[in-house]
Amino acid sequence: MRIARFSHSGDVAFGVVEGPGEDPADLVVAVAAGHPFAPLQLTGESLPLSAVKLLAPVLPSKVVCIGKNYADHAAEMGGAPPEQPVVFLKPSTSVVGPGDAIALPRNSSRVDHEAELGIVIGRLCREVPKERAHDVILGYTCGNDVTARDHQKQDGQWTRGKGHDTFCPLGPWVETELPRDVAVRCLVDGEVRQDGRTSDLIHDVPAIIEWVTAFMTLLPGDVILTGTPAGVGPLLAGESVSVVIEGLGTLTNPVVAR
């Protein structure tokens, strides 16, 4: 099931995206009466997907990120893969949706794309064993952990480099079912920059949830970004960047100068 958050005629609602593929011309949104963190009830109204604006699929209280979770990306960053998950946070104010612009900071000379699979949490949880991890997952979404690489290196920690406004595009929707092994790609103006698979994650989804919830309570709608494969690179104003996850969808954002 594909659960979207959208705006139409000034109203914001959730709905279920129905139809084959991703072409908006072939898809409709069955409007929901409430939010997806309770049993989803539909109103009976349907709208063409082309007639609505897709928004960030959730409004997380926090975005929890796992760093260097692909061995090839750890190598390109000049280090060995960490034995334990490296965790950092992106603020909720960094979140934008499909089609929203990624704004390059005036005082940064290097902003990179990082395509990632996002886990969307479906219920309040703490201390979740990996055997029960899927019980707390609403679904999955595409994420772009946009990073001001020069700020990250200057500061010696990652809050500023990762936390700028617009630096966490999410979307286009939440897919509730996803195979364990899917391709994660990043394209810039149609050129493939990153091409990995979730089977290459050092710490898989259940292990990540067990690790994070051992010290942090997660709330419904919180997002965990699971790490990025090799091939991270710079974004320039005027470009278009897409995160494409097999079986899930495509998240595309334009890049502009702030």
* Average pLDDT of the residues in 22-26: 87
The half-sphere exposure of 188 on its side-chain side, counting CA atoms within 13 A, is 18
Percent of the chain exceeding pLDDT 90 equals 92
CATH 2.30.30.370 in the chain is located at 2-54
> Is a pLDDT exceeding 90 seen at residue 80?
no
Q: Are 137 and 226 in contact (CB under 8 A)?
A: no
Hey, what CATH topology would domain 63-257 get? Fumarylacetoacetate hydrolase; domain 2 (3.90.850)
In sequence order, what are the residues at sequence separation of 6 or more whose Cβ sits closer than 8 angstroms to the Cβ of residue 237? 104, 255, 256, 257
> Is a pLDDT exceeding 90 seen at residue 71?
no
Q: Are 85 and 66 in contact (CB under 8 A)?
A: yes
Which sign does the torsion angle of CA 36, 179, 120, 184 carry?
Answer: negative
CATH 3.90.850.10 in the chain is located at 63-257
Instruction: Output DSSP code: residue 51.
Output: G
> Is a pLDDT exceeding 90 seen at residue 75?
no
How confident is the prediction for the chain on average, in pLDDT? 96
In this prediction, residue 214 has a pLDDT band, given cuts at 50, 70 and 90, of: very high
**What architecture is domain 2-54?**
Roll (2.30)
Preceding omega of 172 cis (within 30 degrees of 0): yes
pLDDT tens for 99-142 read: 999 999 999 999 999 999 999 999 999 999 999 999 999 999 99
- Give exposure, 49-87, as e/b (b: 16+ Cβ within 10 Å): beebebbbbbebebbbbbbbbbeebbeeeeeeeeeebbe
